[in-house]
Amino acid sequence: MFATLSDRLATTFKNIRGKGRLTDADIDATAREIRIALLEADVALPVVREFVARVKERARGEEVSQALNPAQQIIKIVNDELITILGGETRRLRYAKTGPTVIMLAGLQGAGKTTLAAKLALWLKEQGKAPLLVAADLQRPNAVNQLQVNGERVNVPVFAPQPGNGVGDPVAVAREAVEEAKRKLHDVVIVDTAGRLGIDEELMKQAADIKAAVNPDEVLFVVDAMIGQDAVNTAQAFLDGVGYDGVVLTKLDGDARGGAALSIVQITGKPVMFASNGEKMTDFDLFHPDRMAGRILD
């Protein structure tokens, strides 16, 4: 991800490298190049506009620094602004003060939710937590089984519906799971919910009902970064229909252009909290805006 954007920005900066001083025309030309680079990377237009306006404004107003040449100053500005659009600080999980922390996952089918649930469980285990995975995706026949397989891979128990225990009713399963977590002293409950291929009202309502029933400490919207501009539309639809606290970007290892990652925070106002970048259970970490910006400008 971001290979094209990285290359284009590198070329842009090369064009101003040898200059002792940047004229307004140089700044305008550079801003234009940055604009094209971002648009080609599939970054949403309003985000691009604001980004470029800020870079221009700062480049014109910047104090002449002794330590940095003009090209370095622009690179620093772009780096700062990338960190800003990616959300600034790393947003960490909020744990419940008492009782188990409940984390609910929502998103479209195929976004990588089930995989992510297990990755998150493994990551939490490494933080010293005792997570419980909950199979509240009862829509897809194979979803419960898939979560069980993933749970086994990371050695985390899975709470799944059983006869007399919420079969066919994801809200009851989620509610029961929280009770089970209390009984068995799990301190984090990760609720995997149903996804559909497209956004639909029933899906939204079910997710909203689960949310109302278990009152999660964190609702995470899981989205495939490879789906480009659609990611932003889906993110907005889930924000309106279900509501969430943070975003998880999956498939960042893909070769898509990365615009989703660069637009979603600004468009939704919600931070990206985690990033998933591969099929291995360990291909997962907190999302660090500064590191991501660094990688783009590497």
Pick between residue 75 and residue 207 the one whose CB is nearest to ligand GDP: 207
Select the span of 83-91, 102-110, 169-177, 180-188 touching ligand GDP (CB under 6 A).
Answer: 102-110
What is the number of other CB atoms lying within 10 angstroms of the CB of residue 112?
23
Does residue 91 touch ligand GDP according to CB under 6 A? no
Q: What is the spatial distance between Cα 225 and Cα 257, in angstroms, rounded to a whole number?
A: 9
Nearest to 167 by CA among 144, 147, 188, 184: 144
Does residue 279 touch ligand GDP according to CB under 6 A? yes
Pick between residue 31 and residue 106 the one whose CB is nearest to ligand GDP: 106
Does residue 112 touch ligand GDP according to CB under 6 A? yes
Using CB under 6 A, which residues numbered 47 to 86 contact ligand GDP?
none
Does residue 191 touch ligand GDP according to CB under 6 A? no
Binding residue per annotation — 132? no
Does residue 206 touch ligand GDP according to CB under 6 A? no
Pick between residue 4 and residue 109 the one whose CB is nearest to ligand GDP: 109
Binding residue per annotation — 97? no
**Residue whose tokens read 């590497």:** 298
Does residue 277 touch ligand GDP according to CB under 6 A? yes
What is the number of other CB atoms lying within 10 angstroms of the CB of residue 141?
8
Shortest CB 32 distance to ligand GDP, Å = 34
Q: Where are the alpha helices (DSSP H) in the chain?
A: 3-16, 24-40, 45-61, 70-85, 113-126, 143-154, 170-183, 201-214, 229-241, 259-268, 289-296
Contact letters for ligand GDP, residues 234-253 (x by CB under 6 A): ----------------xx-x
Does residue 278 touch ligand GDP according to CB under 6 A? yes
CB 220 within 8 A of CB 106: yes
Shortest CB 150 distance to ligand GDP, Å = 8
What's 112's DSSP letter? S
Pick between residue 243 and residue 278 the one whose CB is nearest to ligand GDP: 278
Q: What is the spatial distance between Cα 134 and Cα 207, in angstroms, rounded to a whole number?
A: 14
Binding residue per annotation — 250? yes
Q: What is the spatial distance between Cα 242 and Cα 70, in angstroms, rounded to a whole number?
A: 46
What is the number of other CB atoms lying within 10 angstroms of the CB of residue 46?
11
- Binding site per annotation, positions for GTP: 107-114, 192-196, 250-253
Residues within the interface to ligand GDP (CB under 6 A): 107, 109-115, 195, 250-251, 253, 276-279, 283
